A and B are shown apart, each in its own frame.
Chain A
Amino acid sequence: MATFKVNGVEQIVDVEPEMPLLWVLRDELGMTGTKFGCGIASCGACTVHVNGSAVRSCVLPVSAVEGQEITTVEGLAYAADDNGLNTNTVSLSQVQQAWIDHQVPQCGYCQSGMVMAVSSLLASNPNPTDAEIDASVTNVCRCGSYPRIRRAIRAIANA
C-alpha cells in the first residue's frame, strides 16, 4: 500500500512499491493530465510537483512519495478550499493564464510538464535569467513552442 496526497486529496493505492508515480496516476487513479513521453526522465512530459518541486514522475517509484504532497497539472487549475482540498472552481494559475495569453501550446502534449516545470522554477526564482530558464526547463517540446515559453515566462516575471 502506498499513501500520499494528490492535489490535496489523500490516495491509498495497492501497487508494487517500485511502480513509477506516473503509472499510478494514469492507470490506477485515471488522472491522465500527466503524460508519458519517454519513460527515462529525459523529456519531462511527466513532470509533477512533489512538495512543490518539479519531479519527473516516470522514474519516480511510488514508494518515494509515501506521505508526500503531489500536485499535478489538474491541481494547478482549481482553487483550494480552507482545508487545502481542490474545489470545482476553475482558477487558472499565473503560468496557465500566461500560456493562454501567449498562445504557447501547439499539440499541447508536453505542456502539462512544461507548465509544472515553469511553475516550480518561478516559485523559487520569480525573475530567472535566460540561462536559468535554459538550465531549469529542459523539457522537450517537439512542436517548438520554446520562443513562446520564454516570452510567457518573461511576461510573468515582469508583471
Chain B
Amino acid sequence: MKISRRRFVLSTAVVGGGVLIGYAATRPSGHRIANSELARNGEKYLTSFIKIEPDNEITIYVLHSEMGQGIHTALAMMAADELDASWENVHIEQAPATDLYAAGDLATGFAEEFGVPSVLMPLVEASSLKVAQIGNLQTTGGSSSVRFTGQHGMRVAGAAAREMLIQCAAERWGVPAAECTTALSYVQHNASGQSLSYGELATAAAELEPPAEPMLKDRSQFNIMGKAMSRSDIPPKVDGTAPYGIDAHSEDMLYAAIRLAPVFGTKLVSVDASEALQRRGVKRVIELEDSVAVVADNYWRAKEALKLVKSEFETSEHDDVSSADLAARFERELAESNGSKDLEVGDAEAGLETAADVVEASYRVPYLAHAPMEPMNCTVHIQDGKAGLWTSTQDPLSMRGRVASVAGLNENDVTHHPSYCGGGFGRRLPFNWNCIDHATKIAMEFDVPVKTVFSREDDLQQDYYRPAVISNFKGGLDSNGNLIAWHNRFTGPIQIPGASHPAYAIENQSIRVVDGDTHVPVAAWRSVDHTQQTFFIESFIDELAHRAGKNPYQFRMDMLQDHPRHRQALEVAAEAAGYGRNLPEGHALGLAVQESFNSICAEVAEVSIGDDGQPIVHKVTAAIDCGWAVNPDTVEQQIESGIIYGLTAALYGEISIENGRVAQNNFPDYEMVRMATSPEIEVHIIESGESLGGLGEPATPPITAAVTNAIYILTGQRIRELPLNKHDLRQSTPIASV
C-alpha cells in the first residue's frame, strides 16, 4: 500500500462553522529521482479537505478542475466512501487556488508511471513556479485526477478522517475502537446501542492525531465507489447558472478584444487607432509587444472597433512558410538524419535483411487546435497591489502564479475565483500562457476588472497545437507472415515517452525520432502523443496483417501474448461488435487497441462510404480496462467523449499554415462532428481490478485507425494522411476478407 510512505500530521481549521479535517504529508527522500526532487524541499502541504458541520452536512473540497469529466463527483465519491459518509449529505466544492490545496499526489503518480515526472518537468523549470513546488500543482491533465489525487489523496483523507471520528467516539464511550463501526455519517457501538453523528464528533476529532496509515477499504466494502452517481455539476449546467470563467461580470467591467501577431513570434510595429477611438464605448487602445487590444464597455463594441485599428507587425523569416514547406522539411530531416534513440530492441536492420517481405509506409498528421467550446478568456482586476483572477483553467494555482509574475505582485495577493471549464483538452494547461499574459497586461492599465476574450478566430489561430508529424515505417515479415522487424522514424517532439512503442511482441525494433521543431507552437492535445502514434501503429500493424494474409484481429492477438489486458479489451470489443459477422452491404469493421494513461482501450468501428466519398461511421464499440470504475457512468461518458473528439480530428481536423500563419478561421473550416455525424457508441467496462487508469484521454487514440482500417477493407485505400475529408473514397476496390 502506497500510503506507508507517508506520515500524516494534523491540519485543522474552522471554516463556516464547520470543522475541516485534512492532512499534510512529509515525503521521505525517495528511491526514485522524482522523490528526491520532492523530498529536497521537505514538508509538503496536501490538499483534500473534508469539512464536517454540526448538523452532519459534509463538504468535500476538490482541487481539480471540472471540465466535464466528472471528477468533482468522482473524487468526492472516493473520499466519502472511505469516510462512510451519507452521500446524500455530501456537498462538493472546488478548492481555492492556494498552496494548501496543491496536488502533491500528482507528482508522485507521474513519477511512478514514468520513472521521472517528465510530463511535469517543465513546470519545475518554469521561472514562475518555485522548484520547491513540484508537488504543489493543481494541474488537471494526463488523465490523472482520480488515479493519483483520488487514489493517493482523497481515499486516504476519507479513511483518516473516519478513523479519527471512531477514535473520538470510542474514547467518549469508553469502549475499544475496534468495537465501533461506521455507516452513513454515524459512528455506532452495537454492543451498547450507542451512536453519534460525525457532526457531533467532528470538533473533538479534529484535535486528534491523524493515523499514520489509515486502512483503505477493500473493493467489496465500497458503498459509493463503483456505483453510477449523478454528477454534482450537471444541474447548474442545464439552467444556465453554472459559472464559467467567461461569465465573470460586474457593472464597471471593461472588455478587451485583441489582435495578435498573425505569424507566430513576431512583434507589433505600429498602430493607427484614431478611427477606433471614435467609436462608442471605446476606452483605450493598448499596444503590447505582440498584439494590439481595444478596451471598451462591451465586448462587441471592442471587437467592432478592433476592425478599424490599422496595425503593422514585423516581417519574419517565416512569412512565406506553408504546411507543404514544413512537410518538406520534415521529410528532409527524416532522410538526412537517423535521429535519436527512442527504442532499440534486437537488431531491426538485420531483421529487415532476413525478412521474406518488407513493407514500407509513410504516415502523416497535421497540426490540430484544441477548440474548447468556451473560447479562451481571462478577467483580471488589479487594485491596491492585489488582483482578482477569473479564468477557466486546468491549473488555477499556476495561473495565479503567472498573473502575479506578469503583474509584479506577490502570488498570495492574487485570488483565483473558481469556475467550471468550458472544455480544456490541454489548451488550458500551464505554459499555454497567451490570453492569460495579455489579459494581465491589459488589466494593469485599469483599476476596474477587464475581461479579455479571444474570438473563435483567435482561438484557432493562436493556439498551441498538436504537433504535425510524419512517421515512416518499414516492417519485415518472415516467410510464415510473422512480423520480425519494426523500423520506425518519426518527427518529434516526444511529449509522452513510450507512446510510439508498439505493445506487440516484435523481436527486432528500431524506433528513432528526428527534430520536428518549427515556428508553430505545440502543446499537449487530448491524449497527447498517443493520438497520432496510435493512428500510425495501429494502421501499420493492419497493413502488415493484410500483407501477411492474416486476419487483422488474429494477427494482433497472436502478438499480444504478454499483454493479457490488451487481449481481453480487444476480445470484448470485437465480440460485442460482432467482429466476423455478416454485415450490411457496403459496411465493414475496423479495429484498434492502445494503452494510454494506464488504461487499455479497444475500439471497433462500423463504417460505410457515403455518396460524397466520405466515410460514415455508424457505430463504435469500445472496451475500456481502467482497472476498476469509480463512477461507471462517467467512465462511459468519457469514452463516448474521447471517441467523438478523436473522430472529429480524423474526419476534419487540420490546422494548415499559409504565409507563416494559420489558414483556418472558424468552425466552417475547422469542422466538428455534430449530431448528424455522431455514431452510436457502445461502451463495455472491463473490471480487471488492476490499478486505476485514466479516462479523460484513452478513448481518443484508437478511433482513427479503427475507422481507417475499416475504410481499407471497404475501398482498398490505405489512409496514411489525415484528415479524411482530403480523400475521395468512391474510387474503390474492396478487400476480400481474411
Interface residues of A (CB under 8 A from B): 15-16, 19-20, 22-23, 26-28, 30, 32-40, 42-43, 45, 72-74, 76-77, 90, 92, 96, 99-100, 103-112, 115, 133-135, 137-150
B675 x A133 contact (CB < 8 A): yes
Q: Select from chain B the residue with minimum beta-carbon distance to A108.
A: B237
Q: Is the CB of A38 within 8 A of B456?
A: yes
Q: Which of B167-197 contact A (CB under 8 A)?
A: none
Q: A105–B239 contact, CB under 8 A?
A: no
* Contact residues in A for B422 (Cβ distance below 8 Å): 35, 107-109
CB neighbours (8 Å) of A115 from chain B are 238
List A contacts of B299 (CB < 8 A): 23, 26-27, 36
With A19-B298, A90-B239, A135-B676 as known contacts, state yes or no: A103 contacts B637, CB within 8 Å.
yes
CB contacts (< 8 Å) of A74 on chain B: these are 239-241
When the two chains form their complex, are residues B421 and A107 in contact, meaning their CB atoms are under 8 A apart? yes
Closest to A99 in B: B238
| CB pair B672 A142 closer than 8 Å | yes
Interface hits, B633-660 → A, CB 8 Å: 633-634, 637, 640-645
Contact A146 B373 (CB under 8 A): no
A90, A100, A144: which contacts B230 (Cβ < 8 A)? A100
Q: How far is the CB of A90 from chain B (nearest CB, A)?
A: 7
User: Do the beta carbons of A147 and B640 come within 8 Å of each other?
Assistant: yes
Partner of A106, one of B69, B243, B678: B69
| Interface check B9, CB cutoff 8 A | no
Residue of B nearest to A95 (CB): B238
B239:A142 contact, CB within 8 angstroms = no
Other CB < 8 Å A-B pairs besides A27-B249, A106-B637, A142-B372, 8 of them?
Answer: A35-B373, A35-B374, A106-B70, A107-B68, A140-B672, A143-B423, A143-B644, A145-B637
Interface of A is mostly: loop
Q: Verify A73–B423 contact, CB threshold 8 A.
A: no
Residues on B lying within 8 angstroms of A by beta carbon are 67-70, 230-231, 233-235, 237-244, 246-247, 249, 251, 255, 280, 297-301, 371-375, 420-425, 453, 455-456, 633-634, 637, 640-645, 666-668, 672-676, 678, 680-681
A132 to B372, CA, bound (A): 27
Cβ-defined contact, B234 with A100, below 8 A: yes
Question: Would B280 and A140 count as touching, CB distance under 8 A?
Answer: no
Closest residue of chain A to B240, judged by CB?
Answer: A33
Min CB distance B715 to A, Å, is 25
A36-B375, A108-B242 as given contacts; A148 in contact with B67, CB under 8 Å? no
Q: Inside 8 A of A111's CB, which chain B residues have their CB?
A: 237-238
Residues of B contacting A43 with CB < 8 Å?
373, 456, 667, 672
CB pair A32–B247 under 8 Å, yes or no, is yes
The minimal Cβ–Cβ distance linking B560 to chain A, given in whole angstroms, is 28
* C-alpha spacing A141/B647, complex, angstroms: 13
Decide: A73 and B633 in contact? CB cutoff 8 A: no
- Residues on A with beta carbons closer than 8 Å to the beta carbon of B255: 27
Determine if A32 and B423 form an interchain contact, defined as CB atoms under 8 angstroms apart.
no
A109 to B459, CA, bound (A): 16
Contact of A77 among B239, B298, B424, B667 (CB under 8 A): B239
With A73-B240, A107-B372, A107-B420 as known contacts, state yes or no: A144 contacts B643, CB within 8 Å: yes
Closest CB in chain A relative to B416 CB, distance in Å: 18
Q: List 9 A-B contacts (CB under 8 A).
A: A73-B239, A106-B67, A106-B69, A109-B420, A133-B675, A134-B674, A134-B675, A142-B425, A144-B640
Residues of A within 8 A of B675 (CB): 133-134, 137-139, 146, 149-150
Q: Does the CB pair A92–B247 fall under 8 Å? A: no
Q: Is the CB of A42 within 8 A of B246?
A: no
Contact B668 A107 (CB under 8 A): no
User: Of B235, B243, B300, B425, which is within 8 A of A20 by CB?
Assistant: B300
Q: Are A96 and B238 in contact (CB under 8 A)?
A: yes
A45 and B373 contact, Cβ closer than 8 Å, known pairs A143-B641, A144-B640: yes
Q: Which residues of B contact A73 (CB under 8 A)?
A: 238-240
Picked from B234, B374, B668, the residue with its CB within 8 Å of the CB of A109 is B374
**Count: A-B pairs, CB below 8 Å:** 187
- Cβ-defined contact, B240 with A34, below 8 A: yes
What CA separation (Å) do A111 and B68 show in the bound complex? Answer: 11
Going nearest first, the 7 A-B pairs with the smallest beta carbon separation are: A33-B240, A144-B644, A106-B68, A109-B422, A108-B237, A107-B68, A146-B678
Closest chain B residue, CB of each to CB of A101 = B230
**Are B676 and A134 in contact, with the CB atoms below 8 A?**
yes
Q: When chains A and B are docked, how far (Å) is the Cα of A33 from the Cα of B236?
A: 10
Q: Which residues of B contact A38 (CB under 8 A)?
A: 456, 666-667
Q: Are B234 and A42 in contact (CB under 8 A)?
A: no
Cβ-closest chain A residue relative to B228:
A103
Residues of B within 8 A of A149 (CB): 675
**A100-B238 contact, Cβ under 8 Å, with A108-B422, A142-B423, A146-B678:** yes
Contact partner, B231, options A23, A103, A134, Cβ 8 Å: A103
Point out the residues of chain B lying under 8 angstroms from A107, CB to CB.
Answer: 67-68, 372-374, 420-424
Q: How far, in angstroms, from A110 to B374 measured CA to CA in the complex?
A: 8
Cβ–Cβ contact A109 & B423, under 8 A: yes
Interface centre among A43, A92, A108 (most CB of B within 10 A): A108
Contact among A30, A40, A137, A145 for B249, CB-based, below 8 A? A30
Q: How far is the CB of A64 from chain B (nearest CB, A)?
A: 15
* Min C-beta distance of A132 to chain B, whole Å: 11
Q: Contact: A148 with B249, CB < 8 Å?
A: no
A39 to chain B, nearest CB (A): 6
B255 to chain A: closest residue by CB = A27
Within 8 Å CB of B297, what residues of A? 27
Known contacts A38-B456, A100-B230: A109-B241 contact under CB 8 Å: no
Cβ–Cβ contact A76 & B239, under 8 A = yes
The one of A23, A34, A105 that contacts B237, using a Cβ cutoff of 8 Å = A105
Pick the contact of B244 from A16, A23, A109 — CB < 8 Å? A109
**A77 surroundings in chain B (CB, below 8 A):** 238-240
Q: Are B374 and A42 in contact (CB under 8 A)?
A: no
Task: Name B637's closest neighbour in chain A (CB-CB).
Answer: A106
Roughly how many angstroms separate A115 CA and B673 CA in the complex, as a whole number?
18
Query: A139 to chain B: closest CB distance in Å?
Result: 7
| Cross-chain contact B240 with A112 (CB below 8 angstroms) | yes
Which B residues touch A112, using CB under 8 A? 240
Q: How far is the CB of A113 from chain B (nearest CB, A)?
A: 9
By the criterion CB–CB under 8 Å, are B230 and A103 in contact? yes
Residues of chain A within 8 A (CB-CB) of B230 are 100, 103
Q: Are A16's CB and B280's CB within 8 A?
A: yes
Given A42-B667, A112-B240, A147-B678, verify A32-B673 contact (CB < 8 Å): no
Residues of B within 8 A of A105 (CB): 68, 233-234, 237-238
The CA of A76 and the CA of B421, in the complex, are separated in Å by 23
Q: How far is the CB of A51 from chain B (nearest CB, A)?
A: 20
Contacts of B633 in A (CB 8 A): 103
Q: Is the CB of A96 within 8 A of B239?
A: yes
A154 CB → nearest B CB, Å: 12
**With A27-B255, A142-B672, A147-B640 as contacts: A109 and B666 at CB distance below 8 Å:** no
Q: In the complex the two chains form, what is the Cα distance from A90 to B235 in whole Å?
A: 11
The complex places the Cα of A137 from the Cα of B674 at a distance, in Å, of: 8
Contact check, B666 vs A40: say whether CB atoms are below 8 A apart.
yes
**B68 neighbours in A (Cβ, 8 Å):** 105-108, 143
| CB nearest to B680 among chain A residues | A147
Residue among B67, B68, B242, B668 with the most chain A CB within 10 A? B68
Give the docked Cα–Cα distance between A90 and B240 (Å).
12
B645: A residues at CB distance < 8 A: 142-144
Contacts of B238 in A (CB 8 A): 73, 77, 92, 96, 99-100, 104-105, 108, 111, 115
